[in-house]
Amino acid sequence: MPGYDQTLQPFLWRAERLYPGREVVARTADGIERYTYREFGDACRRLANALDAAGIGEGDRVGTFCWNHHRHAETYFAAPNVGGQLHTINPLLPPEHVQYIVRNAADRVLFVDPSLLGALEAAYDEEAFASVERFVVVGDAVPETALEPVTDYDSFVGAHDAEYDWPELDEELPAGMCYTSGTTGKPKGVEYTQQMLWAHTMATLTPAGLGIDDSDVVMPVVPMFHVNAWGLPFSATAAGAKHVYPGPSPDPADLVSLVEEEGVTLSAGVPTVWLGILEFLEEHDADLSSLERIVVGGSAAPESLIRRYDELGVEVVHAWGMTEMSPIGTVAHLKEGLEGVPHEERYAKQAKQGLLVPGLEMRVVDDDGEEVPWNGEDFGELWVRGPWVTDRYFERPDATQQDFEGSWLKTGDIVTVDPEGYVQIVDRAGDVIKSGGEWISSVEVENAIMAHDAVAEATVIGVPHEKWGERPAAFVVPADDGVDRESLADELTSLIAEDYPDWWTPDAVELIAEIPKTATGKFDKKVVREEHADPELLAED
Ligand code: ADP
């Protein structure tokens, strides 16, 4: 745009001037810390001066290895606004992934939480970390560590001034970076330009997005290393909302007490977080009256979860997105005219991944590249494009060629779209099971099994089969160890046989102790396949 670029800078500027006394709150190892937007702005400018002094400017990456807290939020505004690039690193990844990511991103400064120092040391490799000029431990002292050179955050920032003239930035400048968690192979880097982050922030503020405004108290439970905590630190600041950060891997009791004490109105996280809170509520009293809505995404929100929160007076805002999309793509709001429908019908709509957020475009294509009709039945791969969707991976022409076509991102999600435009994910492209040429949605079978009271978790994969190509096998973690294993397996088999086409019934239902998970808490079907996809499992025809 001639004369004006879309960047993150005005969001912080406005929040400080319009809401100087609004709070940013974080739970840390030392208890609750709180300060105002005015102080937050000062802290960001001090950090900007410190980054300047460390030589960070355009094109330089600043890595973070941190949980959700206010210091991490300071890096969100300081690093991109000096022209650098905020690169959030998932500390739960295996060491070799961390090495790959740091080497690939060539981070120059790396911020690390004291509680994550051990994980970083475990991943440290002189050659992979050759670009890192300085480690900054987020705290007021440096614990015993082999990493060097190392400074504590307070000393790194302390002597610097709270005055800082932000430089004029081009909106095409990369401002952020996040690697996809690698459920589908080697991590792939996604760069977010200033303009992408600006556009995503604005979209989240709209009612068709997340409708965040200055009355909100926003608590991101989704980690800040996972697609910028779904953009919430940016959105909350742009809106002038209060921020609440739950700190290192919070448990349900911590989250509930923050809701009660800080008056959280909106929170966000993966389904397992919300299931954990429901379990906690069975044993404890809590006052969740301030909590208006929870954004649930990352994997599908089960209908039972939507119902149970509705009964507690909390709206589940089911959203779908991807690292490549900054991340929000669809949100399952109720369309005008659907508000009055019976509860069950409403929950069924909310359990879909939802309606495309304004500003994006989508198409659903079959194997021949033809668009499939929006009839709620025909499957195809979802393609999307728009102002906050990337069109490439960082230094990965091979993966870029595979996953993009021009400006379209081929999401790898297999979906149906109903006549009202609600997108429903039926599977990931590699997970959908093809048996005798017919598709089986592993996700639907999993959900049906997980709806059974005696089941804690379940996953379904395709196992190679001589005659049919693939047949479904279910791996189930029972809710209670004492269960009669054989009768549960039989019961689950008949349950699917009753409700689904006959070829959908799993040929094997195996009870296991645990389902392997990815670093972001999703079922890791790659590992399930490696460990269990044994043709001998399947019953004889
Ligand atoms: P990865 O593919 O490495 O897990 P992401 O965290 O970017 O990386 O995950 C994006 C994928 O997560 C989507 O393509 C989709 O398969 C899944 N996903 C995200 N939100 C939802 C949702 N609400 N329901 C079902 N699946 C979801």
The pick from 186, 413, 427, 441 for probing ligand 1's pocket by mutation, whose C-beta has the most ligand atoms within 8 angstroms, reads 413
Residue 217: name the closest of 195, 239, 241, 199 by CA: 241
The SS3 of residue 214 is coil
Span between the terminal Cα atoms of the chain, in Å: 64
Alpha-carbon distance 36 to 204, whole Å? 23
Check 324, 381, 457, 470 and give the catalytic one. Answer: 324
> Using omega within 30 degrees of 0 as the cis cutoff, is the peptide bond preceding 149 cis?
yes
pLDDT (0 to 100) of residue 393: 97
Q: Under 8 Å CB-to-CB from 402, ≥6 apart: which residues? A: none
The SS3 of residue 354 is strand
Tell me if residue 180 is catalytic.
yes
What pTM was estimated for this model as a whole? 0.90
pLDDT (0 to 100) of residue 468: 85
Q: How many Å lie between the centroid of ligand 1 and the Cα of residue 42?
A: 36
pLDDT (0 to 100) of residue 183: 56
Tell me if residue 370 is catalytic.
no
Q: How many Å lie between the centroid of ligand 1 and the Cα of residue 320?
A: 7
pLDDT (0 to 100) of residue 185: 67
- pLDDT by residue for the chain (541 residues), tens only, comes to 567 999 999 999 999 999 999 999 999 988 999 999 999 999 999 999 999 999 999 999 999 999 999 999 999 999 999 999 999 999 988 899 999 999 999 999 999 999 999 999 999 999 999 999 999 999 999 999 999 999 999 999 988 999 999 999 999 999 999 998 655 567 899 999 999 999 999 999 999 999 999 999 999 999 999 999 999 999 999 999 999 999 998 999 999 999 999 999 999 999 889 989 999 999 999 999 999 999 999 988 989 899 999 999 999 999 999 999 999 999 999 999 887 899 999 999 999 999 999 999 999 999 889 999 999 999 899 999 999 999 999 999 999 999 999 999 999 999 999 999 999 999 888 888 988 877 888 988 998 999 898 998 999 999 988 888 899 999 999 988 888 888 999 999 999 999 888 889 999 999 999 999 887 778 888 899 988 888 887 764 4
The pick from 318, 320, 403 for probing ligand 1's pocket by mutation, whose C-beta has the most ligand atoms within 8 angstroms, reads 320
Question: Which residues have CB under 6 Å of ligand 1?
Answer: 180-184, 297-300, 318-323, 353, 411-413, 425, 428, 520, 522
Task: Kindly list the distances between the CA atom of residue 58 and the CA atoms of 80, 170, 351, in Å, as whole numbers in the listed order.
Answer: 9, 10, 42
Evaluated on CA atoms 255, 259, 262, 264, the torsion sign reads positive
Please tell me the residue having the least CA distance from ligand 1 atom 24: 300
DSSP secondary structure of 309-353: HHHTT-EEEEEEE-GGGSSEEEE-PPPTT-TTS-HHHHHHHHTS-
The pick from 227, 322, 520 for probing ligand 1's pocket by mutation, whose C-beta has the most ligand atoms within 8 angstroms, reads 322
Check 7, 88, 180, 237 and give the catalytic one. Answer: 180
Beta strands 134-137 and 150-152: pairing type?
Answer: parallel
From the centroid of its chain, how far is CA 231?
A: 10
DSSP secondary structure of 140-189: SSPPS-S-SSEEEHHHHHHTS-S---PPP--TTSEEEEEE---TTSS--E
Check 58, 434, 510, 531 and give the catalytic one. Answer: 434
Alpha-carbon distance 409 to 323, whole Å? 11
The SS3 of residue 433 is strand
Residue 179: name the closest of 75, 300, 60, 92 by CA: 92
Closest approach atom of ligand 1 to CA 522? 4
- Tell the burial category of 322 from Cβ atoms under 10 Å away from its Cβ (0-12, 13-18, 19+): buried
Please tell me the residue having the least CA distance from ligand 1 atom 26: 299
Cβ atoms within 10 Å, residue 461? 21
Q: How many Å lie between the centroid of ligand 1 and the Cα of residue 323?
A: 8
Alpha-carbon distance 426 to 413, whole Å? 8
Question: Side chain identity at 271, as an amino acid letter?
Answer: P
Task: Kindly list the distances between the CA atom of residue 520 and the CA atoms of 87, 103, 266, 402, 432, in Å, as whole numbers in the listed order.
Answer: 17, 21, 21, 24, 21
Q: How many Å lie between the centroid of ligand 1 and the Cα of residue 325?
A: 11
DSSP secondary structure of 475-520: EEEESSTTS-HHHHHHHHHHHHHHHS-GGGS-SEEEE-S---B-TT
Tell me if residue 237 is catalytic.
no
Cβ contact 301:349 at 8 Å: no
Tokens for 292? Answer: 């208006």
Residue 386: name the closest of 297, 325, 318, 322 by CA: 325
Let me know the angle formed at the C-alpha of 102 by 57 and 386, rounded to the nearest 5 degrees.
70
| φ, ψ (nearest 5 deg) of residue 231 | 80, 0
DSSP secondary structure of 251-269: -HHHHHHHHHHHT--EEEE
Query: For the chain, what's the residue count?
Result: 541
> Using omega within 30 degrees of 0 as the cis cutoff, is the peptide bond preceding 327 cis?
yes
The SS3 of residue 125 is coil
pLDDT (0 to 100) of residue 510: 93
Residue 162: name the closest of 8, 44, 23 by CA: 44
Q: Under 8 Å CB-to-CB from 350, ≥6 apart: which residues? A: 301, 303, 306, 316, 318, 332, 334
